[in-house]
Structure 1
Amino acid sequence: MELQDADRVGCATFLLTRDVGLWWESASVSLNLQTLTWNGFKEVFYSKYFTEEVRSRLTREFMTLRQGDRSVAEFMRKFERGCHFVPLIANTAREKLRYFMDGLRPILQRDVRVTGPTIYAVVVSRALAAEQDQRDIESDRQDKKP
């Protein structure tokens, strides 16, 4: 069941707390809530809390995002958050898959690529498994040291 715009706006505004909730009470007075679309709500919200400058910075960060010392799970969470600011990538399955793969550590990229996955969820699952395999190998090496 797909949510209608009014339902989405209602759910989102219900979750707003503290200063953001107070801001919404004030902002909603000047809006027609009966005709406010989801995109309209996001536009109002982003103009207040994610200025053009912030969105630009977050986009740049996303475009250069690499796993580095993060776990696959941490990298995936950061990647997913970044996808909201780069819809050209987030809305294209092939590009999303490619950017995620490119951001993985090289050894994990290799382990995942040999399986030839074409679905983002499968890539994430295999990257998590490859990371666990790497930890197991490292643990075995440590156990065998005299």
Structure 2
Amino acid sequence: MSLHAVAVVGNPKPASRTADAAVRLARALGADDVELIDLVDLGAGLLGWGDPVVVDAVARVQAADLAIVASPTFKATYTGLLKLFLDQFATGTGLQGVVAVPLMLGAAPGHQLAPELLLKPVLVELGATVPTPAVYQLDSTYLDDPKLVDWLERWGPTVRTLASR
């Protein structure tokens, strides 16, 4: 069973730890193919509608089996860069058929509920299937996060089953 994943990264810094964590999560969930969409590369095209590069990025997310939607924690929420991209999707149907996992990295555990309370509802509103709790990792320890190992053991089979349909 082949699983195609897209890692959508809303970090304003290119080649960020957020991007690395998103790709790692997709691979840990069994994705054979992980395509990185680093939103910082889309630039000013995100400020309106119809930019061909942005339209293509939206279509690539819609064609994925699994989308890891990732952001650093900025001001206790996800970035405006990610918000601009998510605004490109139609409400209710824009992510229909896509299994999504919200992922946020932060500097301290105090914001660990941010992806669950702020990012996950937006993905559901856009029609994504979000069958698991969101993932929050400390940016300083994401490479060796025992909580992620536990999350993968508990939720990995669910994500793989739904994404492979």
TM-score normalised according to structure 2 size: 0.25
Structure with a larger share of its residues in strand: 2
TM-score normalised according to structure 1 size: 0.27
Work out which of the two has the higher radius of gyration on C-alpha atoms and give 1 or 2: 1
